[in-house]
Amino acid sequence: AYADWSADVNAGYRGQLVARAVDLVQLFPAAAYGKNGADIRLAVDAVEDMFRLPDLTHVVIVAGDSDYIPLAQRCKRLGRYVVGIGVAGASSRALAAACDDFVIYDALPGVPALEPAPAPAEAGTEKAPPKGRRGRAQAAQPEEPEPPDPQAAATALLTRALQIGLEKDDVDWLHNSAVKAQMKRMDPSFSEKSLGFRSFSDFLRSRSDVVELDETSTTRMVRLRVDQ
């Protein structure tokens, strides 16, 4: 991720990105790099990696800006499969045409639908902002989100893994070993034993409201419930 991480507008994302093992690249203020400094640095690094890493087969561009069209075209000329991901209604059609495949962000498995923001409070019920230096310091610090419940996070991970398997193979029933492998690829820290289950099958049985488990043969199969 490329940004000036010393800027307040970007500092709030540092913890989330580091927790997801994203490499942070420091770009100093715009006066030194110009308006599109991050775009240029990203494109240069991407092309350099394609020459350094011959085993790199796919390039994913998460953007809707037409400035990335030359990057997509160069990646394809170098023999890479280019996937674009953008927001519906805000992505360049030319960029989509330059990619081998283009996916709308909201259509990705596991991306929750955004809920409407709550209505603003009435003027009479609003509290006056705190005064003084201490009040300003407290207001400037963003509230850290509570860590997700491990059981709920595991259920969401399972659901997403099954959705990805369904889209990839176009079959309802998947081998439970393939589902676990997909979950481990998305979250290497996943372990059913750390959640209190002796086996992955026990973990699946505990999610009977989300999945169906077929144990009629030696090969266990699993799928999302039809009403999911």
Q: Take residue 62 and report the two structure tokens written for it.
A: 């998460």
Question: pLDDT: is 115 or 36 the higher one?
Answer: 36
Label residue 192 by pLDDT band (50, 70, 90).
very high
Lowest mean pLDDT among 18-32, 65-79, 100-114, 194-208: 100-114
Cβ count near 80 (within 10 Å): 17
Predicted local distance difference test score (pLDDT) of residue 215: 84
CA distance 150 to 148: 6
pLDDT top residue among 185 and 47: 47
Q: What is the DSSP letter of 69?
A: H
User: Is residue 141 pLDDT above 90, yes or no?
Assistant: no
User: What are the φ and ψ backbone dihedral angles of 57, each rounded to 5 degrees?
Assistant: -105, -25
3-state SS string over 129-194? CCCHHHHHHHHHCCCCCCCCCHHHHHHHHHHHHHHHHHHHHCCCCEEHHHHHHHHHHHCCCCCCHH
- Between CA 141 and CA 137 the distance in angstroms is 7
Residues 158, 183 contacting (CB under 8 angstroms): yes
SS3 percent helix, strand, coil of the chain, rounded to 5, is 45, 15, 40
- Per-residue model confidence as pLDDT tens digits over 105-125: 877 766 555 555 555 555 455
The stretch 32-37 carries a mean pLDDT of 62
Both tokens of 102, joined, read 């283009």
For helices 150-169 and 176-186, angle between their N-to-C axes, nearest 10 degrees? 110
- Contact (CB, 8 A) for 95 and 62: no
Q: Of the candidates 203, 207, 163, 157, which has an alpha carbon nearest to the alpha carbon of residue 183?
A: 157
> What's residue 2's pLDDT?
86
**Secondary structure of residue 127 in the 3-state scheme:** coil
* More confident position, 62 or 129: 62
Two tokens, residue 53 = 């890493």
Q: What is the mean pLDDT of the chain?
A: 81
Model confidence at 71: pLDDT above 80: yes
d(CA 142, CA 4) in angstroms, rounded, equals 18
The domain 150-224 having CATH identifier 3.40.50.360: the answer here is no
pTM attached to this predicted model: 0.59
